[in-house]
Amino acid sequence: MAMMSREAYLASLEDGRRVFAEGEEVKDLRSHPQFVQAIELVAEGYAKHYKPGEDACGPYFAVPHGKDQLKEILQELLDWDMVTVTTSQGLLALLTAAARIRPASAVYADRIEGYFELCKAQDLRCVQAITDAKGDRRLSPSGQDDPDAYVRIVERRPDGIVVRGAKLHISSASVSHELVVMPTKKMKPGEEDYAVACAIPVNAPGVKIVNTSFAPRERHQDFPVSSRHNMPEGFVILDDVFVPNERVFLAGEVEHSATFAHSLGLWERLGATAHLAEYGDTLVGLAQLIAEANGTERVSHIREKIAEMVIYATLVRAGLEAAIANAEASPEGWYFPSELFTNAAKHHGAAEFSTMVRNLHDIGGGSIVTAPSIADLEHAEVGPFIRKYMATKEGISGEYRTRLFHAIRDFTADAYGGWQLVTMLQSGGGLYAQRLVARKHYPMDEAKRLALKLAGLAEV
């Protein structure tokens, strides 16, 4: 076992993986504008955590054995790059699934634990490939005109299986090492070939990844957030990919098909809530700063909007704290966050996120999208005029206010902002999924008991 250095990670990308972007196959990931900054972020993560020695391993492979450890992991992941966060969440989700299926499928549970140890020993980065193409949403996987609309097993061999299909919205797949494939939903009897979970190296024959990205292509100084923090989104094609048995975690057992999605949803929603709590505080900070820069911080409706944002940020963080405080232990002694509080907090944070962004835009004003570029600000002729007219009061220079507007635009109102509006809703599944899980774990019988007691019907 040894940790991977920055240089080793960069070298690991030259493994024959097939990556496509903007209509062409990308032969040099490290120089392509869609990938260069993402790769740098992951490389920085490797450099930050690297420790020599055969027994060294990264904190992202920690498995919480108590509520305090769970909280520590969540605090640390806010400083990790997306790939490292995804690796931690995905492997914890696999271990959660292993704990849940072990009574019926010890072989699969053992394989999952073995895979976890493999990733830990080789310091690999993993992404979760869950969302299928789905075809006609009205039809089940087995009822589709094209049977490949959901990833499925097309061949079973003594030494493994062959899978075919596509997985969508796979963030950072092209700059990671492993794809953890799992069913996107519960499968029914007769859909055994779709009940498949497995781990596939990104460079495995038959894997092709088509990418999109919100990374800015030019004027990077006008994008202070997304120029430094971006990741490619992968459309992963599995074109008859062979998976050896030791990497197969489910191969036809429909009764366990939803276990993986539910386990991943729990950890993705917990991580998303942690980021929503941080983003909520960031939105509050941006709103207060731009109100002060505009000279409107004492206007009543501005103060009320910021107060609403404060309440939002505080409630999301409270839900996160409750999810940790009510964590439960597995038979193995691993701690998992509360399903109820995790899903309720994620739902609230995601559902109200757009309202908080709207409040920020209302407070900031039109210059969020019309402020002159940084290049114009630095222009010899027009720059002095921009500084003059963008200034507002003592201590608020035109350059400061212009750059603040660019930060707000980039974070909330441009390509990255649009990406956030969608992903805040969809990370860990849409809002409906969170409502279903919250309702399932809510103590409804106790609520009914209290209502009956109130109505004087407890003895009826």
Give the model confidence (pLDDT) of 382-410 as tens digits. Answer: 999 999 999 999 999 999 999 999 999 99
What is the Cα–Cα distance from 76 to 64, expressed in whole angstroms?
Answer: 13
Length of the chain: 460
Reading the block at residue 154, the tokens are: 């097309």
- The pLDDT value recorded for residue 77 is 85
Reading the block at residue 8, the tokens are: 């080793």
Tens of pLDDT along 418-438?
A: 999 999 988 888 899 999 999
SS (H, E, C) 42-89: HHHHHHHHCCCCCCCCCHHHCCCCCHHHHHHHHHHHCCCCHHHHHHHH
Look at residue 257 and tell me whether its pLDDT is greater than 90.
Answer: yes
- The pLDDT value recorded for residue 351 is 96
Secondary element (H or E) of residue 164: strand 160-171
CB 132 within 8 A of CB 151: yes
User: In one letter, which amino acid is 108?
Assistant: Y
* 111 burial type by CB count under 10 A (0-12 exposed, 13-18 middle, 19+ buried): buried
What percentage of the chain carries pLDDT values higher than 90? 88
- The pLDDT value recorded for residue 355 is 97
- The pLDDT value recorded for residue 460 is 60
Reduced to 3 states (helix: H, G, I; strand: E, B; else coil), residue 196 is: strand
Reduced to 3 states (helix: H, G, I; strand: E, B; else coil), residue 295 is: coil
pLDDT bracket for residue 92 (50, 70, 90): very high
Q: Fold for 259-448, please state it.
A: Butyryl-CoA Dehydrogenase, subunit A; domain 3 (1.20.140)
DSSP state, residue 207:
E
Pairing state between β 19-21 and 24-25? antiparallel
- The pLDDT value recorded for residue 129 is 95
Q: Which residues pair with 406 in a beta bridge?
A: none
- The pLDDT value recorded for residue 1 is 67
What is the Cα–Cα distance from 409 to 411, expressed in whole angstroms?
Answer: 6
Residues 6+ apart with CB under 8 A from 326: 337, 338, 340, 341
* 298 burial type by CB count under 10 A (0-12 exposed, 13-18 middle, 19+ buried): exposed
User: In one letter, which amino acid is 448?
Assistant: K
What is the Cα–Cα distance from 26 to 174, expressed in whole angstroms?
Answer: 10
What is the Cα–Cα distance from 283 to 251, expressed in whole angstroms?
Answer: 45
Reading the block at residue 289, the tokens are: 């700063």
> What pTM does this model have?
0.90
- The pLDDT value recorded for residue 428 is 83
Of 422, 265, 258, 429, nearest to 342 (Cα)? 265
Reading the block at residue 218, the tokens are: 């030019």
Pairing state between β 19-21 and 207-212? parallel
Tens of pLDDT along 21-68?
A: 999 999 999 999 899 999 999 999 999 999 998 888 999 999 999 999
Q: What mean pLDDT do residues 356-377 have?
A: 96
CA of 109: how far to CAs of 98, 106, 160, 327, in Å?
Answer: 4, 5, 17, 22
Q: What mean pLDDT do residues 204-231 have?
A: 93
Reduced to 3 states (helix: H, G, I; strand: E, B; else coil), residue 53 is: coil
Q: Which long-range contacts (CB under 8 A, 24 or more apart) does 442-451 make?
A: 442/340
